[in-house]
Chain A
Amino acid sequence: MALFAAILVVRSATGSFSFEDFAAAVPGMSTGMKWVLFGLFAAGFGVKMAILPFHLWQAPAYSFTPGASSAFLNAVSARMGLFALVLVLMKLITPAVMSGMDVPFTWLSAKTVLMWVAAITMIVPTYIALMQTDARMLLAWHGIGQGGYMLLGILVGTPLGVAGGLLHTFNYATYQMALMLAVFAVVHRTKTSDLDELGGLITRMPFTYITLLMGIIGLAGLPPMNGFVSKWMIYKSLLNTQQPLFLIAAFIGTLGTILSVYKLIHNIFLGQLRLEHAKVKEAPLSMLLPMLALAGIGFITGYMPGLALSLVDMAQAAIGVPLIEHHLGGVYQATGSLNMLWVVSVLIAAIGVGALIFYFLGNRRYEVSQYDNYAGGHFLSADIRYHYSHEFYPGLARVIGPWYRGWVVKTERGLTTFVAVIGDVWGGIFRFAHTPFYLLAAVTLGLLWVGLLGKI
Chain B
Amino acid sequence: MFEIIADLVLMPLIAFLFGLVLVLMGRRVRAKIERRVGPPVLQPIYDIVKLYAKKTQISHGLMHDISIMMLLGGFITSEIFLPVPGLDGLAGEGDLVTLVYVMMVPLLGMALGVGSCANPNGSIGISRALTAMLAYDVPYVVVVAGACIHYGTSNLVDIVRIQQEGGIATWGITTMPLLAIAGLIAAHGMLGKEPFEIYIAPAEIATGPMVEMSGKYMGSLFIMQCFQFYTIGVLYTTMFLGGGEMWLTFLPKVALVVFFSLAVTNVFGRYKTEDVIRWMWRWPTAIGLVGLALVMLDLN
Q: Which residues of A contact B (CB under 8 A)?
A: 200, 202-203, 213, 217, 220-223, 228, 232, 235-236, 239, 242, 244, 247-248, 251-252, 255-256, 258-259, 262, 265-266, 269-273, 334-339, 342-343, 346-348, 350-355, 357-358, 361-368, 370, 372-373, 375-376, 380, 386-388, 392-396, 398-399
Partner of A266, one of B97, B123, B137: B123
Nearest 5 A/B pairs, CB to CB: A395-B273, A270-B115, A362-B52, A351-B73, A354-B72
Bound complex: CA A398 to CA B131 (Å): 11
Partner of B108, one of A222, A361, A380: A222
Bound complex: CA A112 to CA B22 (Å): 46
Partner of A395, one of B55, B119, B223, B272: B272
Partner of A265, one of B98, B112, B216, B299: B112
B115 A266 Cβ-Cβ under 8 A: yes
Bound complex: CA A395 to CA B132 (Å): 9
B57 A366 Cβ-Cβ under 8 A: yes
Interfacial residues of chain B within 50-98, with CB under 8 A of chain A in the complex: 51-55, 57-61, 63, 65, 68-74, 76-77, 80-81, 90, 92-98
| Nearest CB of chain B from residue A147's CB, rounded to whole Å | 21
B206 A367 Cβ-Cβ under 8 A: no
A393 B57 Cβ-Cβ under 8 A: no
Q: Does B241 contact A (CB under 8 A)?
A: no
Given contacts A242-B299, A365-B216, is CB(A354)–CB(B76) below 8 Å?
A: yes
Chain A residues lying within 8 Å of B272, measured Cβ to Cβ, are 395
Beta-carbon contacts of B130-151 to A below 8 Å, as 1s and 0s?
A: 1101100110011001101100
A363 B52 Cβ-Cβ under 8 A: yes
A358 B72 Cβ-Cβ under 8 A: yes
Of the A-B pairs whose beta carbons lie under 8 Å apart in the complex, a sample of 6, sorted by A's number, is A221-B101, A232-B97, A255-B133, A338-B94, A375-B119, A393-B131
Bound complex: CA A361 to CA B72 (Å): 14
Q: Does B174 contact A (CB under 8 A)?
A: no
Given contacts A353-B76, A399-B277, is CB(A393)–CB(B145) below 8 Å?
A: no
Q: Does B274 contact A (CB under 8 A)?
A: yes
A258 B104 Cβ-Cβ under 8 A: yes
Q: Which of B33-41, B152-160, B184-192, B257-265 lies at the binding interface?
A: B152-160
| Nearest CB of chain B from residue A211's CB, rounded to whole Å | 14
B121 A376 Cβ-Cβ under 8 A: yes
Bound complex: CA A358 to CA B281 (Å): 38
Partner of B93, one of A342, A370, A395: A342
Chain B residues lying within 8 Å of A244, measured Cβ to Cβ, are 142, 145-146, 149, 292, 296
Partner of A361, one of B120, B131, B216: B216
B148 A239 Cβ-Cβ under 8 A: yes
B101 A202 Cβ-Cβ under 8 A: no
Partner of B60, one of A355, A368, A396: A368
B68 A370 Cβ-Cβ under 8 A: no
B119 A354 Cβ-Cβ under 8 A: no
Bound complex: CA A361 to CA B217 (Å): 11
Q: Does B175 contact A (CB under 8 A)?
A: no
Beta-carbon contacts of B198-224 to A below 8 Å, as 1s and 0s?
A: 100000001000011001100110010
Q: Does B181 contact A (CB under 8 A)?
A: no
A362 B215 Cβ-Cβ under 8 A: yes
Partner of B220, one of A200, A217, A357, A393: A357
| Nearest CB of chain B from residue A328's CB, rounded to whole Å | 13
Partner of A373, one of B104, B117, B126: B117
Chain A residues lying within 8 Å of B105, measured Cβ to Cβ, are 222-223, 347
B138 A362 Cβ-Cβ under 8 A: no
Chain A residues lying within 8 Å of B158, measured Cβ to Cβ, are 335-336
B101 A353 Cβ-Cβ under 8 A: no
Bound complex: CA A247 to CA B138 (Å): 11
| Nearest CB of chain B from residue A454's CB, rounded to whole Å | 50
A350 B154 Cβ-Cβ under 8 A: no
Partner of B58, one of A248, A348, A368: A368
Partner of A248, one of B51, B142, B206, B215: B142
Given contacts A222-B101, A256-B134, A336-B155, is CB(A358)–CB(B95) below 8 Å?
A: no
Partner of A270, one of B69, B116, B276: B116
Partner of B77, one of A236, A350, A366, A386: A350
Q: Does B102 contact A (CB under 8 A)?
A: yes
Q: Does B124 contact A (CB under 8 A)?
A: yes
Given contacts A202-B63, A335-B154, A375-B206, is CB(A395)–CB(B57) below 8 Å?
A: no
A252 B138 Cβ-Cβ under 8 A: yes
Chain A residues lying within 8 Å of B53, measured Cβ to Cβ, are 362-363
Q: Does B111 contact A (CB under 8 A)?
A: yes
Bound complex: CA A399 to CA B135 (Å): 11
A370 B115 Cβ-Cβ under 8 A: no
Bound complex: CA A350 to CA B117 (Å): 24
Bound complex: CA A248 to CA B220 (Å): 33
Given contacts A262-B126, A338-B95, A394-B273, is CB(A370)–CB(B77) below 8 Å?
A: no
Residue in chain A with minimal CB distance to B70:
A351
Chain B residues lying within 8 Å of A248, measured Cβ to Cβ, are 138, 141-142, 145
B73 A350 Cβ-Cβ under 8 A: yes
Given contacts A337-B93, A358-B220, A361-B52, is CB(A239)–CB(B57) below 8 Å?
A: no
Residue in chain A with minimal CB distance to B113:
A270
A239 B145 Cβ-Cβ under 8 A: yes
Q: Does B128 contact A (CB under 8 A)?
A: yes
Residue in chain A with minimal CB distance to B89:
A346
| Nearest CB of chain A from residue B48's CB, rounded to whole Å | 9
Chain B residues lying within 8 Å of A269, measured Cβ to Cβ, are 115
Residue in chain B with minimal CB distance to A392:
B127
A354 B70 Cβ-Cβ under 8 A: yes
Q: Does B8 contact A (CB under 8 A)?
A: yes
Residue in chain A with minimal CB distance to B9:
A353
Residue in chain B with minimal CB distance to A200:
B118
A335 B80 Cβ-Cβ under 8 A: no
Q: A239-B149, A351-B74 are in contact. List 8 more A-B contacts (CB 8 A).
A: A202-B116, A221-B101, A262-B111, A351-B72, A362-B219, A365-B58, A372-B58, A375-B121
